[in-house]
Amino acid sequence: MTGYITPFVLAFAVFATAFLTIDVTIMSLQGLSLIFQP
């Protein structure tokens, strides 16, 4: 089980960080921040 959970958690952290970075980049290219600023 450890042989699955550890790589899953690590990979999840990496991919989630990558996706958030992409989100921030694409939103800023549209002149917006990721978090809503009224």
Cα–Cα distance measured from residue 3 to residue 25, given in angstroms and rounded to the nearest whole number: 34
Site size toward another protein (CB under 8 A) is 24
Footprint of another protein on 1-38 (CB under 8 A): 3-12, 14-16, 18-20, 22-23, 26-27, 30, 32, 36, 38
Check: CB of residue 24 under 8 Å from CB of residue 34: yes
Instruction: Please state the closest distance from residue 28 (CB atom) to another protein, in A.
Output: 10
Q: What angle do CA 32, 12, 10 make, to 5 degrees?
A: 130
Q: Which residues bind another protein (CB under 8 A)?
A: 3-12, 14-16, 18-20, 22-23, 26-27, 30, 32, 36, 38
